[in-house]
Chains A and B, each alone.
Chain A
Amino acid sequence: MLRRVLRRRKSALAGAVVLAVIALAALLAPALVPYDPIKIAPGAALSPPSLTHPFGTDQYGRDILSRAMTGARLSLATGLGAVAVALTAGVVVGLGCGVIGGWTDLLVMRVIDIMMAFPGILMALVVVAVLGQGTLNVMLAVGVSLIPTFVRLVRGDVLSVRENAYVEAARALGSRPTRVALRHVLPNVVAPIIVISTVAVAWSIILGASLSFLGLGPRPPIPEWGIDLSGGRNYLLRAWWISSAPGFCIMLTVVAVNLVGDALRDELDPRLRSLANL
């Protein structure tokens, strides 16, 4: 299916290729980086992009290319990890609520309503406040802020799939509720879940980097796109390249994810078109 999408849409193919390159760079960063991303080299501070430092160096003389590549690991991990959290919670809770119904559903949906009262970043901020700063906590915070969206989507689809004759048939044949949920309902709600997950990865990368930018994520000198962008803020005029590299990396990654996501959405579930604004 993915292959068909990629063949038909050139933009999605471009996105997928860019993503693959970024993912490879992130995975192989420890072996590939030309310089130690953390070691300070005052002599080389604020060098503009050149052959020895393709993206230049920052105010501490650290190679920006090396930092950007290493930073990709954290950003991608945050994006995927956060979505994994939201996806697990969303599928378990949404499927459970949709299949069980009744009081459980009512109660859980009230809790979700309350969570919806906090706009995404505010929720993430509150979670970081509770858990403390740090990489893993940012991932959790972003994940938690996405849970309501996932739960509502899954539950809504489960409710409509549940009405189908084949689900009733399965129940009439004496299948237990767990079996009905996993074998007959879940496979039929997978498409929208895939679509929303892709959009959510893009959103999570941005939100994760935002929290780091605010100083709530991993701490310097850890290479991370949000931190590095923030670090170069005061050098915009003297050394524009410090903030540009991480900024460009975030944008490139998110554009690539969105290109793939758009194609998947059109292919799998055109009715989700209005959900683009997670």
Chain B
Amino acid sequence: MPVIVGVSVVVFSIVHLLPGDPVLAILSGANATPEQERELRAQLRLDDPLPVQYARFVARAAVGDFGRSIFTRRPVIQEIAEQLPSTLELAATAIVIASVVGLALGLLAAVWHDTWIDRAAMLVALGGVSMPSFWLGLLLIFVFSLQLGWLPATGQGGVNRLLLPAATIGLNYSAVIARLVRSSLLEVLGNGYISTARAKGLSEWGVTLKHALGNALIPVTTIIGVQLGNLLAGTIIVETVFSRRGMGRLAVTAVLDKDYPLIQGVVLVSALGYVLTNLLVDLSYSALDPRIRHREGAKA
């Protein structure tokens, strides 16, 4: 909760430190008189003292009213509501791709530890970590849209148009997950109960899947959770590359246009989403790891 209040103060104050004056920006080229300028300033209520503006900002934000975009004159919350589903859809698909690919790569690397399969998988992961998403996105467009013609390069709507951008983000993040699955599995595989399972005569895959994977996945869940927040941020670039609608595009446009209320709304909603995700991840630990649950129970 204090974090959320802090975030609102930061969002409010940062936006008011902006060097550009939106009133002048709107009037630019219109050859406005000082009179018109004052009138517009009063109309947008940008002439009140800052604390008053902040109080008004918080009171309204609490009920989802972030004011109107200075440029489109439409309510900010409406702009966000229009863009949010597209970004959530993208992020959800991306996290699925990231988890599946990351888990597969990590499993392969851990089971065939220190063989060429391990090295190949980790090389792919290194490439994924090191590939900027806008470059990966362009490569995917080049191969799958322009050369093979399998999927459309840009735009909105349908699984067809979702796949490439989601894969771009997903492959980027799968690299992180793969490395962690591998190191976490290798650590768990060193435990005594694994030797017991092996001694029972279980196959290596049986041991890994039945006995090791569950425990190895605890730190992995953390990372997937943390990545979920970053992933939302990652959409900023990918939406631009693929000309998709969404929060990311909205954020970039707002910053480029110096659209105060729009920046405030987008940043606040994104930060809230990030904080909430992290909270959910924290809660999911105790569900996944009985040790944490018991420790907390003992404390209470």
CA distance A229 to B142 in the complex (A): 13
Q: Which of A34-42, A88-96, A123-131, A160-168 contacts B (4 or more CB under 8 A)?
A: A123-131
Return the contact of B138 from the options A114, A118, A247 (Cβ within 8 A). A247
Which residues of chain B have C-beta atoms less than 8 A from A251's C-beta? 127, 130-132, 135
A119 adjacent to B270 (CB under 8 Å): yes
- Given the known A-B contacts A216-B255, A273-B183, A274-B219, are A118 and B132 also in contact in the complex, defined by CB atoms under 8 Å? no
B271 adjacent to A118 (CB under 8 Å): yes
In this complex, what residue of B is CB-closest to A215? B256
Return the contact of A117 from the options B7, B18, B232, B251 (Cβ within 8 A). B7
A206 contacts the other chain (Cβ, under 8 Å)?
yes
In this complex, what residue of B is CB-closest to A270? B183
Least distance between A265 CB and chain B CB atoms (Å): 11
Least distance between A276 CB and chain B CB atoms (Å): 6
CA distance A19 to B49 in the complex (A): 52
In this complex, what residue of A is CB-closest to B277? A119
Least distance between A193 CB and chain B CB atoms (Å): 21
Return the contact of A129 from the options B129, B237, B255 (Cβ within 8 A). B255
Least distance between A244 CB and chain B CB atoms (Å): 9
Interface residues of B in 227-263 (CB under 8 A from A): 227, 229-230, 232-234, 236-237, 240-241, 251-252, 255-256, 258, 263
B19 adjacent to A132 (CB under 8 Å): yes
In this complex, what residue of A is CB-closest to B8? A114
Return the contact of B274 from the options A113, A117, A209 (Cβ within 8 A). A117
B141 contacts the other chain (Cβ, under 8 Å)?
yes
B99 contacts the other chain (Cβ, under 8 Å)?
no
Interface size of B as a range? 35 or more
B80 contacts the other chain (Cβ, under 8 Å)?
no
Which residues of chain A have C-beta atoms less than 8 A from B6's C-beta? 110-111, 113-114, 117
B133 contacts the other chain (Cβ, under 8 Å)?
yes
A247 adjacent to B141 (CB under 8 Å): no
Which residues of chain A have C-beta atoms less than 8 A from B159's C-beta? none
Return the contact of B267 from the options A122, A236, A250, A273 (Cβ within 8 A). A122
Q: Which of A53-61, A97-105, A173-181, A253-261 contacts B (4 or more CB under 8 A)?
A: A253-261
Interface string of B147-185 (1 = CB under 8 A from A): 000000000000000000000000000001001100100
CA distance A27 to B272 in the complex (A): 43
- Given the known A-B contacts A113-B6, A210-B133, A277-B226, are A121 and B237 also in contact in the complex, defined by CB atoms under 8 Å? yes
In this complex, what residue of B is CB-closest to A276? B179
A183 contacts the other chain (Cβ, under 8 Å)?
no
Which residues of chain B have C-beta atoms less than 8 A from A130's C-beta? 14-15, 17-19
Interface string of B1-41 (1 = CB under 8 A from A): 01110110011001101111000000000000000000000
CA distance A125 to B255 in the complex (A): 8
Which residues of chain A have C-beta atoms less than 8 A from B241's C-beta? 233
A47 contacts the other chain (Cβ, under 8 Å)?
no
Which residues of chain A have C-beta atoms less than 8 A from B240's C-beta? 213-214
Which residues of chain A have C-beta atoms less than 8 A from B256's C-beta? 215-216
A243 adjacent to B130 (CB under 8 Å): no
**A-B contact sample (8 more), CB < 8 A, given A117-B271, A126-B255, A132-B20:** A113-B6, A120-B233, A122-B251, A130-B15, A132-B19, A206-B132, A236-B141, A277-B176
What are 16 of the A-B contact pairs (CB < 8 Å)?
Answer: A119-B229, A119-B270, A122-B233, A122-B251, A126-B267, A129-B15, A129-B18, A129-B263, A130-B14, A130-B19, A131-B19, A210-B134, A214-B237, A216-B252, A250-B132, A251-B130
- The residues of A with any CB-CB pair to B shorter than 8 Å are 110-111, 113-114, 117-122, 125-126, 128-132, 202, 206, 209-210, 213-216, 226, 229-230, 233, 236-237, 240, 243, 247, 250-251, 254-255, 258-259, 273-274, 276-277
The list of the 9 closest CB pairs from A to B, nearest first, reads: A114-B6, A119-B233, A247-B135, A254-B130, A255-B130, A129-B255, A277-B176, A121-B233, A206-B132
